[in-house]
Amino acid sequence: MKSGTNPKVLCFCLNLGKIIFSLVLLSSLALCIDNLKLLCMKKIIFAMFAGGLLLFSLPILAQDKNEEVVRPKNIIKFNLSSVALNHYSFQYERAYAPRRSFALGFGFSPNVSLPFKSTLSDAFGDNEDAARAIESTKFSKITITPEYRFYVGKNKAPSGFYVALFARYSHMKLSQDYTFTPNSGNLHTAKLTGNINGVGAGVMIGSQWLFGKKKNISFDWWIAGPFIGGMNGKFKGTDPDMNELDAQDRADLESDIEGFDIPLWKVDATIGANTIDAKLKGTFFGFRTFGFCLGYAF
C-alpha cells in the first residue's frame, strides 16, 4: 500500500483480506467436507471402519448353491457419517446391467455454523474481530452427485466391490456479521453475504453388501474418492462509514484486496459508495472417504 494511505483504510483492508481468506477456506472445507469427517468423529469412524473390515472378512451367509436369489435393482440410502457435520445426504442407485449401475446423490446443510471453528480460529491467532466473524458465520449448502459404478468380483450389481466415476455440483450461501475497530476507535460492523458454486469430477472405490433373506438391507462403504474441480464465488460487504474514504483510499483498497495471495485463485474487487464487491475464481481439490450408507433395496 502507498505510504500516504489512511491508517483506517489499512486496517479495513487487512480485516477484509481476512474475511475473504476465511470465506475461501470455508468454501473449500464445505465443498470437500467428506475429506474431513475423520477429524470430527474419530470414535464413530473407528468403530465403523472396524465393522467394515469385519464385513469384508465375513463369508456369505449359508445358502444352497442351487438356490436362485433374486437381487434387487434399486436402493435408497442415507449417509450416516455426514450427520455429525449437520450435512444430510441421500442416494438412489439403480442397477441396469449385471455389473453396472447409476446412482444420484443429494445432500444439504440447512443454515448451519462453520465446521471446525477451532481450526479456523487458530489460523487467525488472537484476532478478536476474526474470532467474532468465524463465530457469526452461517451457511446453507446443497450438493448433487451423479455417479456411474462398475462392480467387479463374483457378485453382480448392486453388491460387491466397485469402481465409480462421479461428478459433483455444489452451491453454498453464506452470511456473516464482521465487526472491526479501525484506528479511529469506532466499532464497525460489515454485513457480508456470499454465494459459492463449484463443479468437479473424480473416481472412487467402495464396497456394498446386501443382507437379509430378501437381500433388502444394504450397507455401502465409500472407501476413497479423490476429485478436482473449479469454484467461483461472489461476496458483498456493506459499511455505512465507507463514505469517509476518498478516491485514492478506494483505489488503494481495491488494489490490496486483489493483491491478496490465495494459491490457484484469482480475486477481483469493486469498491462502491458504501459497498465492497469481490469475485473469486479458482481450483479446488477434494476427497470422498469414510462414507457409511445404510439403505433399503427393492
Do the Cβ atoms of 151 and 131 come closer than 8 Å?
Answer: no
β-pairing, 275-297 vs 217-238, is antiparallel
C-alpha cell at 82: 455426514
Would you call 96 helix, strand, or coil by DSSP? Answer: strand
Structural domain contains residue 237: yes
Confidence band of 31 (pLDDT split at 50, 70, 90): very low
**Number of structural domains, the chain?**
1
Segment among 5-9, 67-71, 163-167, 179-183 with least mean pLDDT:
5-9
Structural domain contains residue 40: yes
Segment among 21-25, 64-68, 170-174, 278-282 with least mean pLDDT:
64-68
For residue 254, what are the contacts with CB-CB under 8 A and spacing of at least 6?
A: 269, 270, 271
Confidence band of 180 (pLDDT split at 50, 70, 90): low
User: What's the confidence (pLDDT) of residue 244?
Assistant: 72
Q: What is the mean pLDDT of the chain?
A: 79
Structural domain contains residue 62: no
Q: Among 56-60, 122-126, 280-284, name the most confident range.
A: 280-284
Confidence band of 23 (pLDDT split at 50, 70, 90): low
Euclidean distance between the first and final Cα of the chain, in Å? 65
User: What's the confidence (pLDDT) of residue 84?
Assistant: 87
Confidence band of 68 (pLDDT split at 50, 70, 90): low
Structural domain contains residue 63: no
Segment among 82-86, 139-143, 148-152 with least mean pLDDT:
82-86
Segment 222-241 shows an average pLDDT of 93
Structural domain contains residue 150: yes
Do the Cβ atoms of 244 and 8 come closer than 8 Å?
Answer: yes
For residue 51, what are the contacts with CB-CB under 8 A and spacing of at least 6?
A: none
- Residue 181 phi/psi, 5-degree rounding, is -120, 105
Do the Cβ atoms of 48 and 193 come closer than 8 Å?
Answer: no
Structural domain contains residue 223: yes
Give the residue, 40 or 192, on which the prediction is more confident: 192
Q: Among 18-27, 62-71, 182-191, 253-262, name the most confident range.
A: 253-262
Structural domain contains residue 29: yes
Quote the pTM value. 0.76
Residue type, 15: N
Closest alpha carbon to 227 in 193, 260, 245, 204? 204
Structural domain contains residue 64: no
Domain of 234, in residue numbers: 7-55+71-297
